[in-house]
Amino acid sequence: MKTIKIGLLGLGNIGTGSYKTLEMNRDEIEKSSGLDLRITKILEKDTKRKRDVTVSPEQFTQTPSEIFNDPEIKIVIELLGGIEPAATYMEEAMKHGKSVVTANKASVAANFDRLTKAAKENNVMFRYEASVGGGIPILNAITTVLKANKYEEVLGILNGTTNYILTQMTDYGLEYDDVLKIAQEKGFAEADPTADVEGIDCANKLSILMALTFGNYVPPTEIPREGISGITKQNIKNAKAKGCKIKLISSAKKVGDHIEYSVKPMELPDSHPLASVSNEFNAIFIKGNAVGELMFYGKGAGPLPTGSAIMGDVLEIAKIYGAHE
C-alpha cells in the first residue's frame, strides 16, 4: 500500500477532530482508496494538552519550515485559524510543492486571489471544503458535479453560533445577552463573540461561496453586513406574531448582469425550509438554471463534522497523488 505523508499546522479542537477522523476511519479510508494516510509532523506549541488521539512526542515540531522542507510530506493541513500567519504558511507550503487543505474561512476569504494563484503557479491542489458549512459538502458540489449549471442564487444559514442564539431566543423567549452568556458557558460561542454575532464569519463564507458560484470574488470587508447583537426579545415576538422566524441570512443573487449580496437578519415565514434549521445546524440553498433549487443541510461546525470535510479533501488529493506517482 502506498503511504501519503501529511503535515498538520495546529492541533487544537479542529486539528484534533481531523486527526481523530483519520484514526477512527483508517480501515474504511484504506479500503476505499488503497492508501495509507499518515500525519507525520504537527506544528503545535501545546504538546502537553490531553487530547483524545494518539500522538507521539516526535511528531510535534515548533518550526514550520521543518514541515515545508520535508520532501516526504505531500499535503499540508492548515488549522491555525486567523488570517496570518496562516496565509503565509499556506503559500509557503505551496511554494514547496505541497497541496494544501484548510478550514480557515477568514484566511481564505481575505486572501482568495493570492492563495488560488499560488496553487496554480506551483501546480498543487488547494481545497477548503471545511471553510463553508463545516461538514456539509457544498464547495465540492458547486465546483464539480453542478458545474454544468449557471448559478442564479446562493443563500443560507452559515453560522452555527448565531443560529443557536436566535433559536434559543425564539424557543424560550429570552433576551440576546442572556442567551449569549449561556452559549458561551456551553462552548457554542467564543469569549469574544464579535466575529460570529456581527456577521463577519458569515461574510467570510459568503465571499468564498460567491467566488466559486459566480466567479466573482468580493473581499469580505466589502460585503454589507448586519449582525444579530441588536435583535431583541421584542423583535422575535413581533416576527412570531406574523408567523415568521428571524434568521441570520447570507445571500447572493444574480440580478441582470450584476450580483446583489448581503449578510443580515431576516424574517422568514415558518413554512420556509430555512425557518426549521435550528440551533447549531447550517443549511445552504443553491439555485442553478438546470438543476433548479437544491438545499444542503448539516452540522456547520464541531471537531468531527469539520474533520470529515478536512479528511475528505485530503483523501481527494491523496487519491490523485496515489494514482500518478
Which residues form the interface with its own copies (CB under 8 A)? Answer: 17, 21-22, 24-25, 28-29, 31-33, 129, 135-137, 140-141, 144-150, 215, 271, 273, 276, 288-299, 302, 304-305, 307-309, 311-316
Shortest distance (Å) from residue 56 CB to its own copies: 22
* Closer to its own copies by Cβ: residue 44 or 280: 280
- As measured in angstroms, the least distance from the Cβ of 169 to its own copies is 19
Query: Cell numbers of 145, please?
Result: 458535479
The three state secondary structure string of the chain is CEEEEEEEECCCHHHHHHHHHHHHCHHHHHHHHCEEEEEEEEECCCCCCCCCCCCCHHHEECCHHHHHCCCCEEEEEECCCCCCCHHHHHHHHHHCCCEEEECCHHHHHHCHHHHHHHHHHCCCCEECHHHCCCCCCHHHHHHCCCCCCCEEEEEEECCHHHHHHHHHHHHHCCCHHHHHHHHHHHCCCCCCCHHHHCCHHHHHHHHHHHHHHCCCCCCHHHCCECCCCCCCHHHHHHHHHCCEEEEEEEEEEEECCEEEEEEEEEEEECCCHHHHCCCCEEEEEEEECCCEEEEEEEECCCHHHHHHHHHHHHHHHHHHHHHHC
Of the pair 24, 237, the CB lying nearest its own copies is at 24
Cβ 66 to its own copies, closest distance in Å? Answer: 26
Residue number, 41 or 299, with CB nearest to its own copies: 299
The residue among 199 and 305 lying less far from its own copies, judged by its C-beta, is 305
Residue burial 253-266, b: 16+ Cβ < 10 Å; e: rest? bbeeeebebbbbbb
Q: Work out how close the CB of 21 gets to its own copies at its nearest, in angstroms, rounded to a whole number.
A: 4
Q: Cβ of residue 287: shortest distance to its own copies, in angstroms?
A: 10
Whichever of 10 and 300 has its CB closer to its own copies, that residue is 300
Residue type, 285: F
Q: How far apart are CB 230 and its own copies at their closest, in Å?
A: 30
- Closest distance between its own copies and the C-beta of residue 151, in Å? 9
Instruction: Rank residues 200 and 301 by Cβ distance to its own copies and give the closer one.
Output: 301
Give the orientation angle of helix 303-324 with respect to helix 13-24, to 10 degrees. 60
Determine the residue type at 105.
K
The residues annotated with a catalytic role in the active site are 205
> Using CA of residue 207, residue 211, residue 216, residue 219, what is the dihedral sign?
positive
Amino acid found at 153: E
